[in-house]
Structure 1
């Protein structure tokens, strides 16, 4: 597997350390399975933080943003249930399973999604997500390869928590800071719990068809104030 990742051409803007290795892993995965795209996301227990650590293409980043906005999707489900989530037909059961995420992902051309939790023992770091632009399941050999890629991604993340590569992982999470700040502001302004504040931010983002991070940015900048009667 290391040879496969090492053989993957480096992008002109490849980031150093763990993140760069994860980006090569994603592009190598797409070629090996094959798949339309792949991404490695960091997720925390209450789904209010995290971020995409690496992706094979910009669409993978948009899909992660959809999951963060809606608080649901294949990576979130895989993280929560601690096992792979395989949805070969997003237009079918996927629409019922993720009523917020699935229509938006489908509108971006995604037809099948597969997610694998990145966990060891009781520790959970996130998920590896794979998508296809046609409703086709993973074959048995492709599924085995996906598991192997997930194991390698987990090992890279664990290694990256120490030493010089840790800074790269910190950068992945930094852009979520505005969401935490906006959550706290809504909590104080409306006199609600942190959980309720996040629900209101997500509800507004859904109602306005915007990303949660964009709504949070407006709240922090003073351009948007949620009122008691807001969604």
Structure 2
């Protein structure tokens, strides 16, 4: 167990297995949630099973948080360093905010995205874009369908709205009219800005790195040419001195 920069980190050889289990559980919850939204005619029995899956997955994330808190050894420091995780665990207990469980899943995926910074950024951006978009489409459809004056009433409409919103285009042909739908819209707008900013920063970093590598290669070639020219001049001077003598 180490404490770095106020964050508590526990050394656990079973961490990859635990995170794989949590990722699978999160995807299972997403499948159950998608089933209840995309199949509004689902019977009471299957719908109850999907609701039970959602509760069990939430409990699984809670157990994981509690275990990491127990193993940390610095309980208060762990809570201070993991306030976001705690909020993502507590808030989804409220039904309108149950989609926040997705953020917990993204956090787990980000922790297991790879050892290199670029690998983590790539995995996180690609996964976050797909999952945030898909879950936002489900969330806005769940909130809007059946509401008076609703414009987003089908899943394709929800996907189109997500695409125009997350890319910050915003045609305005479709928009949520319910409070919950607008809450989903605000979250999606913030996510879109963050994701686009991450992509832009990653591309800029890649270009700067490539330009730096090319400049370094050019400078190395110039230094080699200078060294060769200096060597030839020295040899020529030595030859001239030998002839003068």
Q: Could you say which TM-score interval applies, normalised by the shorter chain?
A: under 0.3
TM value normalised by structure 1: 0.26
| Structure with larger Rg | 2
Structure with a larger share of its residues in helix: 2
TM-score w.r.t. structure 2 length? 0.25
Greater relative CO, 1 or 2 (CA 8 Å, sep 6+):
1
